[in-house]
Structure 1
Amino acid sequence: MATLTTPDHPCGAGGVTMTEMLSLDRRVSLYGLRITDLSPRGDLGLGLDPEGPVGFALVRGYRRNGQFRRLNEALVLSVFGEGRACDPADADALAGERVWEVALADRLLRLELQQGSLASLLNGG
């Protein structure tokens, strides 16, 4: 059986079999809070989604293949719809958080907030 090395595999043993690789879930659950006062118009080039319009969420962690990972720094990412309420039994969820299910191949936007004068922002500093 062929073995593939993947740096982000949870086993950390330096590789997985082809069967394990093919069975890995290509979906991710994003954990965060919906930013309610930032509502862009249109689809922002991301396409339309049946879950609802594009919005933004402050994402602090994600779950993939049963493993929860906390981000070092929360990210502002585009999401579709309101997300779903966290399961009360989910030990990784914080109070009031929502969960968005996305595919690894989905296109998202990351919004970086920077504060400063127009001159300093235009000059990259």
Structure 2
Amino acid sequence: LAQGRAMGLANLLRGALPWPLGRILDEQAPEAIEVPSGSRIRVNYAEGQPPTLSVRLQELFGWTQTPRIAAGRVPVVLELLGPNFRPVQVTQDLAGFWREHYPRLKQELQRKYPKHEWR
């Protein structure tokens, strides 16, 4: 409910801004980010928390760096989800995740979800 209110407020704010400012708001704090799979995933902006993207791990194959918003100043927290849409890892360092944690996690996920692609 709170997120719905926040999205309504965001749309209200966008609608109240003159065109160039609304466009700038969309560039600096996008509603959604397109991931390598082609999906557009909604960014969660919770008060007092960094922006978060909850996305299935397989949809990020191809990204090597953490996405950033606000002209590159703010890294997005990635809540990486398994095929069951449950969190398997949370990170702001995607490069470190691929290098340090994914090889071990990949083995576990391959056992649990053998029909899914694991690169």
Both proteins in one fold, TM over 0.5: no
Instruction: Report the TM-score, using the length of structure 2 for normalisation.
Output: 0.25
Name the structure, 1 or 2, with higher relative contact order (CA <8 Å, separation 6+).
Answer: 1
Instruction: Report the TM-score, using the length of structure 1 for normalisation.
Output: 0.25
Radius of gyration: which is bigger? 1
Question: In proportion to residue count, which structure has more helix?
Answer: 2
Question: In proportion to residue count, which structure has more strand?
Answer: 1
